[in-house]
Amino acid sequence: MIIEKIINNNIVLTHDHKNKEIIAMGKGIGFGRKKGDSLSESEIEKVFRIKENEMLLKFQDMIADIPIERITLTDDVISYAINVEKLKLSQSIYLTLVDHVNFAIERFKEGMTPENALMWEIKRFYPQEYALGLYTLRLIDDRIGLSLPDSEAGFIALHFVNAQYSTHMKETLSLPHLMRDIMDIVKSELNVELNENSIHYERFVTHVKFLIQRLYRNEMLHDDDTIFEDMMKEKYPEEFECGKRIAEYIEVETRSKITRMEMTYLAIHIKRVTMAEE
């Protein structure tokens, strides 16, 4: 391999055997070297393959001043999320999470421990992502010797939500509130209490999360079965109206359009979760 750019003493830009641009990381691989020098694969400890050129440039600039152990730690967390937790993540997670972990550590060392106003909603509606946040904190404690507060696990969780939904962080911050308000609409419209520990509630939450994900990814279900919609409207009018009310709320909050097929399936899941409470 030939070094294309020295980012710092431990990180360089080069090309792999397929001539794809990569960021290679390893202790001292950039020290005393210059562009055009050769690099042995045995010296490389980590490789970052970022497809989008703009994102690659941003990542190079960002990691130049971040300690290697923090980058390695964050990459291990992302690998765990992808390979063990099976999350499908946008490559933006490499920028946002490395940046946040570094910032969180510096903030903690300066004695700042901010509260997370969304903790209840994050833990309730995004338990997998919150668990990844706690996993990150354990690695920080084990490898760096700092015990960051659980509120940081909530902030980290939002970065995983963001990378799955392909949203901007401003939109991601609104998702926990959105989920909570949708549950409140079901309870108020149908005058029912929902058992938050039941499998039916969990399935309903999962359906709503995937609906919102499809919305942001422009992958809404198509309106190609009006017979099914008419049947649901006739058989379960209250649940259908509740689904319509939720769809209207989501449209206002996200400035997007919910298809009638999505609304129909929402009504089905509303019926299932409320039947379980009867």
- The CATH number given to whatever domain includes residue 120 is 1.10.1790.10
Q: Last residue of a domain, which of 119, 148, 166?
A: 166
Residue 99 is assigned to a structural domain of this protein: yes
Q: What is the mean pLDDT of the chain?
A: 89
Helix boundaries (H) for 110-236:
119-125, 127-144, 150-165, 169-190, 199-216, 226-235
Rounded Cα distance between 230 and 232, Å, is 5
Question: What's the structural domain count of the chain?
Answer: 3
Among candidate residues 166, 186, 216, the one where a domain is terminated = 166
Q: What is the rounded average pLDDT of the residues 73-83?
A: 95
Q: How far apart are CA 173 and CA 162, in angstroms?
A: 9
In a domain, residue 59? The reply is: no
Q: Burial, 94: exposed, middle or buried (Cβ in 10 Å; 0-12, 13-18, 19+)?
A: buried
Same domain, 192 and 242: yes
Coil/strand/helix, residue 144: helix
Per-residue pLDDT averaged across 196-206, rounded?
87
| Residue-range definition of the domain harbouring residue 130 | 66-166
Q: Is residue 110 part of a domain?
A: yes
Q: What is the pTM of this model?
A: 0.76
CA 107/CA 64 separation, integer angstroms: 19
DSSP code for 41: G
Rounded to a whole number of angstroms, the distance between the first and last alpha carbons of the chain is 66
Residues 218 and 249 in one domain: yes
Is residue 107 a part of any domain in this protein?
yes
For 161-195, what is each residue's pLDDT tens digit? 989 887 777 788 888 989 999 999 999 999 998 88
Q: Cα–Cα distance between 218 and 240 in angstroms, integer?
A: 23
Could you tell me the CA-to-CA distances from 17 to 3, 21, 49 in Å, in that order?
13, 10, 13
Q: Is the pLDDT of residue 133 over 90?
A: yes
- pLDDT at residue 84 is higher than 90: yes
Residues in the chain: 278
Name the residue among 152, 150, 72 with its Cα closest to residue 105: 152
Measured CA to CA, the distance from residue 230 to residue 237 in angstroms comes to 10
Give 278's pLDDT tier (boundaries 50, 70, 90).
low
Residue where a domain stops, chosen among 166, 183, 218: 166
The phi, psi pair for 45, rounded to 5°, reads -100, -35
* Residue 57 resides in a domain: no
Which residues have a Cβ under 8 Å from the Cβ of 52 and sit 6 or more positions away? 91
In terms of Cα–Cα distance, which of 168, 141, 167 is closest to 153?
Answer: 141
